[in-house]
Structures are given as C-alpha cells and as structure tokens.
Amino acid sequence: MADEDFLAGGQDAEDVDAISCLAFAPRRRNLSIGEQDLSVKVVAAINGMKKSGHDAHVHKHQGKMWAEIDRCMLATFGEIEELVDRVHSFEELEEAFRKRHAEELGGR
C-alpha cells in the first residue's frame, strides 16, 4: 500500500494537462492555484522530456502538483526547473526521487 500511496497512479491521483497551464496562455477554464503557478520552465522541461522519448506530464497527487516521468517517478517543480537550468542531470533527478521514495517508505 505504501508504494501505491507515494507513486503516481495511487488513489486521488489526477492528471493535469501541462500545455493548458502555460503562464502566458489565455485562461480557457478555471485553473487551480497549482496549475496557475506552473512555470514556463516546467512546461519546457516536460516537453523536452517528451521529445527525448520520456512519458512526462503534470500530475496532481495527494493535493500537490508533481511532474510524473515515465509513470514511475515523481519530481517537484523545483527539481524540474533545476533540470532545465542544468543544475542537475536526469540521472541526479532519478536519484533524488529514489531517496525521497525510500524516506517516504521508511517513515511509515
């Protein structure tokens, strides 16, 4: 159960269309606060990952907005922005997820 709670796809998981959340896009529907705060960097990172063959999109899980990558990894928007800024590599992003996931499982 712990895996399902933390990994994307568990209960209360909800996909959100990243393209409709661009900061400069006209508001076509009522967006939540999390969707409105989606930065252009996050959208650029998600689109870049898609072009590189990854399945990436914005994902709402347990009331928090995440970037879901390859249906097995969640990343914060800050981590995704650092990926765009080349502060971290994709491999370092994967390692950050593994550490966060292990801590989440250990805390239960």
The pair phi, psi for residue 17, each rounded to 5°, is -70, 115
Q: Using pLDDT thresholds of 50, 70 and 90, give the confidence band for residue 37.
A: low
For residue 58, the 8-state DSSP code is E
**Could you tell me which residues come within 8 angstroms of residue 17 by beta carbon, excluding any fewer than 6 positions away?**
57, 58
- pLDDT (tens digit, 9 = 90+) per residue, 85-103? 999 999 999 999 999 999 9
**H helix or E strand, kind and range, residue 81:** helix 77-84
- pLDDT (tens digit, 9 = 90+) per residue, 19-29? 433 333 334 44
| Boundaries of every domain in the chain | 2-106
E strand intervals along 1-108? 13-16, 56-61, 64-69, 73-75
Whole-number Å distance between alpha carbons of 65 and 15: 9
